[in-house]
Amino acid sequence: MSTSRRIEINPDWCKGCNICVAFCPKQVLALDERGKAYVANVDACIWCRECELRCPDFAVTVVVERAS
């Protein structure tokens, strides 16, 4: 069984509040020049979902797909 994981950020919903960046324990996320969150260092992600849970605008989704 394989598992694929990714972080999806909807830029239309992101208001650049920086909460996900600040609460990520592994500095995975950052704000780009437009003030939108993006995944800067996915290799460090521990898939804790803090970003998804903390975003007040539901702009972050941590996707975990398991395929057998």
Using CB under 6 A, list all residues that contact ligand SF4.
7, 9, 14-20, 24-26, 28-29, 37, 45-51, 55, 57, 59-60, 62
Please identify, using beta-carbon distances, which residue of 18 and 67 lies nearer to ligand SF4.
18
Give least dist CB 67 to ligand SF4, A. 20
3-class secondary structure for the chain?
A: CEEEEEEEECCCCCCCCCHHHHHCCCCCEEECCCCCEEECCHHHCCCCCHHHHHCCCCCEEEEEEEEC
Give least dist CB 68 to ligand SF4, A. 24
